[in-house]
Chains A and B, each alone.
Chain A
């Protein structure tokens, strides 16, 4: 048996590698299981569907949930974009993009408008998404109530019975302690006026983008083994109080590269004196603006 393998490995072209990996890495039965979970999730926006998370060639906490969802959605015609905190060129984004190149041999891109599937960690692209695009979010902790109620049996009931009192208790405590709702990312939302959902650690600035979005939004948590979803044109509202309405704020600066006043910014310390500049977190958005000028 070993001889056969050695013989195969002598070939280095992509065709040989196709024989070792199934298309997009996961076997077809697993994809089927995940697709069933995705369909269920899309039918019940914001509801966490348990799924059987597989061993992936990257550790838990590095996007295994997102990768499994993406893998289950991929076809040979897809064009994939992978971003991490808005950037296409960070180590994780590059690794995952290469992973799909290797296991699925599909086209990749950095341009949001050209991608059919976008896998993201902790940001939503600035450019508006269109129908038929899929946005896959990487999710660390899917349960928005986990901080105050650690028992899964309890949170399951609370979701089932819409017992969301403690969610607002948390916001109340925030306002009491800080004078405003302090939560800056992973800001809880209500989906389709029913389930309360953790949108993954995206900045609250991005929350409005989730509302009524023409694209399909899928969420995968590999370690916690949960999938949830928002179908296109679904109402997504951020929790707030009447007199303390939700404020999707960002740093009050312009991007020092492209000059945009509207995009979410990363803060960069530029020298040892603590000087800082702000630049767009979404690298593709920033680049496009520079190209167009």
Chain B
């Protein structure tokens, strides 16, 4: 139970109090802004901003450690691969060439390439806290209703929210099964080879899948019996009237997007910030 990947937990913070719709819109707009801009000043600003919001929402590092680790691994691999496939990308973008060190005939590390890749690294990194804030502070039902309000079909939205909701349960069952199998002698720790561990984890997955299918049957029956899917639309019990906090949050979001667009149109004259000229 201590090793959940992510789960919603209600706490009374200004972020938790925002409506799901506000959080969804803010998440999408901010992500778009960061993805749009290659200006490291804006990206670092956004990263700082989202870390502050994480702190306001009282999300501890312990809760997100695992996720951050996966993301870092992914980004580092991405970093290396980008360099291997297009080592001159930075030079192409910024139009100048300041060599740092010649690695081989094909690969030369340039200031431009380094700057470009560092920018890209932080760009992706700064989206992650936003996603975490959204997932951790949005009640799954509100999540469904807000996805539905921005246009997703309610069946898809509900399926998504049920998945989120049962995730902790499935994790608990996985944990139970894995312990019971370990008692029978299954080795799941690093004492055995990777291949064996993979094979052994299948022995936990099989029972997990079957017992999860049982649960799905129960919940589908319960939903059918109470008329789920009857109409083309549905209403939502959770009231999502926007209040002052929501308007402030939306205003901040729009302001950040405004800055991003302003910078690229009037200051950088493009999506990239170029310190080399």
To the question of whether A and B form a pair in one complex, the answer is: no
- Which residues on B are within 8 Å of A, measured CB to CB? none
